[in-house]
A and B are shown apart, each in its own frame.
Chain A
């Protein structure tokens, strides 16, 4: 996390002119300065994008808290009653969470591998003591994709279980939020899977190692954020019932 922020803090005005074109550039400059620029820009863009995504979930959370506290009119007794009934969360949801957390770890491994490879390439040191396995990164990446898709399949299964027990999106305000939050998170994670596939493609198409690193780095941070976000959603659903 420290390295993530440390790349963002230098001031471009003092850094020198780096008005390079953005992500449609097919150039592959391999100098450390250009890599640093590309990495910093991509991470900054990601950070700003995550703030935007966060605001969506902040809004849902505030709606969750407000809606939970609202009474409704019972037309039969003409009294205000509470209509928020939260059934216990399906057990599978916790297993899915575990899968997502493991995928976050495998993503971290992929990122670490490629970072070492870039660092070694930069210093031109080839030491027999530092084992760098180029195929290792790809395996970790593929594993992350598989785990990510498993998580999404698991979420779908949770929905089917809920529907089978008669809990639909409009059944209760609590179930509305369960479906809403898991679906919105799922759509964002699907975006992450797409980004991972792009990272895999750049790996198998043997793009320059710096390009692979930048793509993998921002995808990795996005993926970790999505895992963290899901843990938050789960806590909200479990503890703020």
Chain B
């Protein structure tokens, strides 16, 4: 092994030129940072769009800079781009592409991903996808109106509205490219996890972050191919005149040249991808939260195996529940019942995870460092957002609530903000390892409290707004008589959004300021046990400086009786000698 290892490391020498080192780099750490900064750019674009929508909702006649007065179709295009950018280029890109790329190889003791060239390609294809999407702002007609779900026939007909021409084509191309990038990335993650673990790193000694990235990659592998196929069919319907998704419809008094297609076929294909996508966004945050709750409670994670099996069953069940997005489609009540039961079954592994997080916190010596605050925030948001899930899982409740803000509140809390809190927690936790400096603690705490209180202030009232039949996707709710009475609630939400968004600039400032001026970080500032904390800060090009680590212990050995300090690194001598289970 040793000679081969050396031979490979020599061949994997650090590149010297700027282009190979920072642009077309093969190093998983640089690629991880590229994904991270892409997501950071995307999240601010997405946030700006949501701000414009919030302003328009309470002052519908105000003229905005560059956009002028917002027409209903402009509002729909803002909504489409906000959803697409946030779901694909933030929630999918940062937790998996960013932190997964950077830390999966290090946490399993590998020098790089299994296929570094493919890894580089994944990022650049994803980047191209982002450019294609943003380009939709600058073409005739502007961005598409069909929402991030791209429902046909609206999405399939060029003549269906402004933005459904070149803008919608760019949207489909962007999604297809994103799928390609995500598939290549999933291939790399799975092969790396299965094949590149160091000696001693058995599957049941993997940190839960690695388990989460691994399961997410499997979901991505099975789901993105389906979206890619659907995207190809949609592109053909739009440009070649096929009728996969378009029935015989009349647009502006004219019968279009399609017939016989099924809009429901698009919905089935889309949601077969779309529901696992929710878990693609949230699973990495679950893995990270498990990690942080254990590290900062100084206790082993409560029920390690239960956590692994819970994540696996969430992943498997996630493929069987897509129909719960389609209760409104007129599906058979028997199918709806089956989808409903399967959906509520996901509550079981989700509850296992939640109770295990609480069980880990219970009696721990809790350190309220910024990553821990965001991890606890994640648990809170996961519970709050999750609890409305069983309501919406029942067709009898979903049908009246589906088109209201209740659904907006539900998925923003559980998929959006919870996952974003995971990204923040990961940034605060791994920043010292990535940049060699600590982030400012006071600014981080300000950021946490503004974000935590702010997001609750934004999304909790949306439940009430929805239950009062406040309709989603409506550009001007002030025009609808019964919704006028709800305007004060909308105003409160918009003002809360102003404050929350302002709070994010504290994070942005802290991020860049700390890179230059933060306190120097030690190699293991959080006293954690996993492999990334055994190497230098920031890690050298081959991750472990020519040494191949050997793992002897599990990833969550905290407060071990008889140990010289309150944690045992994964690479420390086996605990069996001291009478403990390794």
Interface residues of A (CB under 8 A from B): 11-27, 29, 31, 33-34, 37, 40-41, 44-45, 48-49, 51-60, 62-63, 66-67, 70-73, 75, 83, 169-170, 173, 176, 180, 184
Contact = CB atoms under 8 A, between A and B. Distances in A.
A52 B184 CA distance: 9
22 contacts: A13-B551, A17-B1, A17-B549, A20-B5, A21-B9, A21-B112, A25-B12, A27-B8, A29-B8, A40-B195, A41-B114, A41-B196, A44-B114, A44-B191, A52-B187, A55-B223, A56-B226, A59-B226, A63-B244, A72-B247, A75-B248, A173-B242
Instruction: Give the contact-size bracket for chain B.
Output: 35 or more
Instruction: Give the top 7 A-B pairs by smallest Cβ distance, nearest first.
Output: A55-B225, A72-B260, A59-B229, A170-B241, A27-B11, A19-B110, A21-B12
Given A41-B195, A53-B225, A66-B262, A23 B111 contact: no
B260 A48 contact: no
B236 A180 contact: yes
Nearest to A54: B225
Q: Tell me the dominant secondary structure on chain A's binding face.
A: helix
Interface string B525-551: 000000000000000001000001111
Interface string B164-206: 0000000000000000000100111011001111111111010
Contacts, number: 192
B201 A13 contact: yes
B113 interface: yes
Given A13-B202, A44-B194, A52-B221, A73 B247 contact: yes
B233 interface: yes
A21 B111 contact: yes
B26 interface: yes
A29 B9 CA distance: 12
B8 A11 contact: no
B229 A67 contact: no
Given A45-B187, A169-B236, A176 B244 contact: yes
A18 B5 contact: yes
A170 B205 CA distance: 54
B222 interface: yes
Interface in B278-315: none
A27 B117 contact: no
Given A16-B1, A52-B186, A56-B229, A21 B11 contact: yes
A22 B221 contact: no
Query: Which of the listed residues B8, B11, B548, B549 has the most CB atoms from chain A within 10 Å of its own CB?
Result: B8
Contacts of B111: 19-21
Given A25-B11, A29-B3, A52 B183 contact: yes
A34 B261 CA distance: 53
A159 to B, nearest CB: 13
Contact of B225 (A15, A19, A56, A66): A56
Contact of B1 (A18, A51, A66): A18
